Amino acid sequence: MLRRAAALLPPGTSLVGAGTVVLGLASYIQLAAAGRALPSDRMAGVSVLWTLVFSVGLGLFFPVEQEVTRLVAARVVAGRPVAPVLRRAAVAALVLLAAVCVPLAVFAHAVAGRLFDGDTALVGALCAAFAALALAYVTRGVLAGTGHFAAYGSQLAVDGVLRVVLSVVLAAAHTRQALPFAAVLTVPTLVSVAATAPWVLRAARPLPGGPVLRWSVLRAGLLALIPATLLAQLLVNISVISVKLLAPHDTAFVTALLSAVVLARVPLFVFGSLQASLLRGLSTAVAAGDRAAYRQLLLRTSAFTALLGGSGGAVAVAFGPWLVPRLFGTPALLGWSDFAWLSAGTLCYMIAMVLGQALQAIGGHSGQLLAWVVGTAVLVGVTLSPLPIRDRVEIAYTAGAAVTVLMLTMRVMCTASLQPVRRMSRQAGWTDAIQGVNPGKHRQSVE
């Protein structure tokens, strides 16, 4: 059964998956250590910081990784240099970093007062974490696009191991301040990027000949993909922020809900190992003009994702109410129905991510954005309903993700099934990159 399940996955998933498991476990240990060491009011600030880093930060910089992966994969198929993509992506990430950190610095006191109980140091920690993510996602895009999945997984593993070590040391030292635990979101990531830098530089070494990457190619994808990813991260992470805004003094419920969200999203950590290899596989298939490989990879990955989300959700519903208080030290405020809503939303969210990457590989960035806009509108509508706060935030998550899946499914079916392969490649922006490439030559690497 394990061999059959592995056969459904894109090549390179196991290598990335090993690092993802380490990094995912590190997140649990980090939150558990902070929850046991910090008072509830300071832990609430760390909870909000953690949520912002993995929602806004991921929403801004993960699209850079995805576009780098997509463009680098096409250039590898065409035998063209990768260095121009790395240079353009680095500048784009720096611009995005400035766009978010400059306003945070200007309005630091207002942001701290609203989200961090007046602790401006956590605003600085937030900017530092964003900078670390910017570096990490640019390098991971190069590693994924060139197929260096061992180095990709190593970066995740180094990051995770260091997070565990630092979190345990801080807890053992009885640290009562939030800032040291916040720094755990930055320092390990920077070290992991430095550790894998040689692979990135070798993969992106300059080659003679070949065109440079026009800014318009990268900009066109990012202008649609960044808002789509931000909306996706808003949907998957907003529950904790919503409770903080709707019931700012209920710190016990904020920390309990964060712990429940983390547990319900265990399948999402495993699913993260699919994304880099899936996008490279789909992008390579499109660049090589291989419709059969594209369709087969999409169907296999969707089936595995449904199995992963369903089984993980069943475990969360059965054991979540008992496990969360004992694992994270949070109050026992949530029951099985809370975990059922959160798990259903996670399942829909993962399927939406698979379908979104399928659209991205064929240049359907605008369709992906439209789906997330509609899903977010549903989320907002339910959140503003007169239901109790707990029901609002949980049902809104599931409803928004489900509507997004429905829209993406219709878009993928219409786009991928009707347009010829040549048009798919042209729409994806790869007309120049795939000229002269023999599709059959690359079929084996895709399959």
pLDDT digits (tens, 9 = 90+) for 125-184: 999 999 999 999 999 999 988 888 888 888 988 998 999 899 889 888 888 888 888 888
Q: Is residue 440 part of a domain?
A: no
- For position 15, what pLDDT does the model report? 67
Given a cut of 70, whether residue 3 has pLDDT beyond it is: no
> Measuring CA to CA, how many Å separate 18 from each of 41, 79, 266, 269, 441?
34, 29, 14, 11, 30
Residues 367-373: what's their mean pLDDT? 92
With respect to residue 445, please indicate whether it lies within any of the assigned structural domains.
no
For residue 361, what is the enclosing H or E element?
helix 336-361
Range of the domain at 141: 2-432
**What integer pLDDT is reported at residue 425 of this predicted model?**
45
Instruction: Judge whether residue 207 has pLDDT over 80.
Output: no
pLDDT at 25: 78
Alpha-carbon distance of 130 to 363, in angstroms, equals: 27
In a domain, 446, yes or no: no
pLDDT of residue 248: 66
Q: What sign results for the dihedral spanned by CA atoms 38, 39, 40, 42?
A: negative
CA angle 270, 404, 5 (to 5 degrees): 30
CB 356 within 8 A of CB 302: no
373 pLDDT higher than 90: yes
Distance separating alpha carbons of residues 329 and 203, to the nearest angstrom:
44
- pLDDT at residue 37 is higher than 50: yes
Residue 214 DSSP label: P
Whether residue 322 lies inside any domain: the answer is yes
Q: Which tokens belong to 291?
A: 């419709």
**Residue 154: how many other CB atoms lie within 10 Å:** 21
Between 188-197, 366-375, 419-428, the lowest mean confidence (pLDDT) is in: 419-428
Query: Angle between the 58-78 and 266-287 helix axes, to the nearest 10 degrees?
Result: 30
Phi and psi torsions of 207, nearest 5°? -120, 145
What's the pLDDT at 443? 38
H-assigned helices in 79-148: 83-106, 108-115, 121-145
Question: How buried is 99 (Cβ within 10 angstroms: 0-12 exposed, 13-18 middle, 19+ buried)?
Answer: exposed
- At residue 416, the pLDDT reads 58
391 pLDDT higher than 50: yes
pTM: 0.74
Contact between 401 and 235 under an 8 Å Cβ cutoff? The reply is yes
Q: With 70 as the cut, is the pLDDT of residue 337 above it?
A: yes
pLDDT at 299 over 60: yes
Q: Tell which wins on pLDDT, 317 or 191.
A: 191
Name the more confident of 124 and 270. Answer: 124
User: Which residues make Cβ contacts (< 8 Å) with residue 137, sequence separation at least 6?
Assistant: 61, 62, 64, 65, 93
Residue 139 near residue 197 (C-beta atoms within 8 A):
yes
Length of the chain: 447
Residue 211 DSSP class: P
Residue 86: Cβ-neighbour burial (10 angstroms; 0-12, 13-18, 19+): buried
Q: Residue 383 falls within a domain, yes or no?
A: yes
Strand, coil or helix: what is 245? helix
In a domain, 40, yes or no: yes
Across 7-21, 245-259, 314-328, which has the greatest mean pLDDT?
A: 314-328
Q: Report the pLDDT averaged over residues 368-380.
A: 93
**Residue 350 belongs to a domain:** yes
- Give the burial class of 106: count Cβ atoms within 10 A of its Cβ; 0-12 exposed, 13-18 middle, 19 or more buried: exposed
| Total domains, the chain | 1
pLDDT of residue 11: 59
**Amino acid found at 220:** A
Q: How many CA atoms within 13 Å lie on the side-chain side of 5?
A: 9
As a whole number, mean pLDDT of residues 383-402 equals 86
Tens of pLDDT, residue by residue over 218-264, are: 777 888 888 998 888 888 877 777 777 777 666 677 777 777 777 78
Task: Report whether pLDDT(376) > 90.
Answer: yes
Give the mean pLDDT of the chain.
80
Residue that wins the pLDDT comparison between 220 and 379 = 379
Task: Report if residue 443 sits inside a domain.
Answer: no
pLDDT at 430 over 50: no
What is the C-alpha R_g of the chain? Answer: 21
Span of 235-239, 307-311, 328-332 with lowest mean pLDDT: 328-332
**pLDDT computed for residue 441 by the predictor:** 41
Whether the pLDDT of residue 424 is over 70: the answer is no
